[in-house]
Structure 1
Amino acid sequence: MADIERGYRLAEAITRTGGRTYYLASRLLPEDNRRAVFALYGYARMADDIVDGPGEPVDQ
């Protein structure tokens, strides 16, 4: 399997588990658009998880 295909599958899995609403709504899109939405959501989700990092949230 090509790396790009693995990336799309990983992005879909991230979207399915982390953004259920986005995942369900994306099912209405054409496949090419759907894969792009999964990739974008997966990227944003991973970036958010990195920024949040481990540990307790900072008090504001």
Structure 2
Amino acid sequence: MTRTRREGLASAQAFHDAYHHLDVPADHTDPVGFELGRFITTMRDAHTPAASRPTGSPNSTHSA
């Protein structure tokens, strides 16, 4: 597991412990400066099949 992924998971766990959900705002940065919102968005995009992504999303295979 990469350092970034370890930091992201630790940050996500701390966020969940504090707020009891993982609906993290896309621009959220944790108290130590980790960009948790970007991390969560990237992980969700990597998990979502390309055909399911809205046109124009960063990892979409469709052109805008």
Q: TM-score, normalised by structure 1?
A: 0.39
Instruction: Pick the structure with more helix per residue.
Output: 1
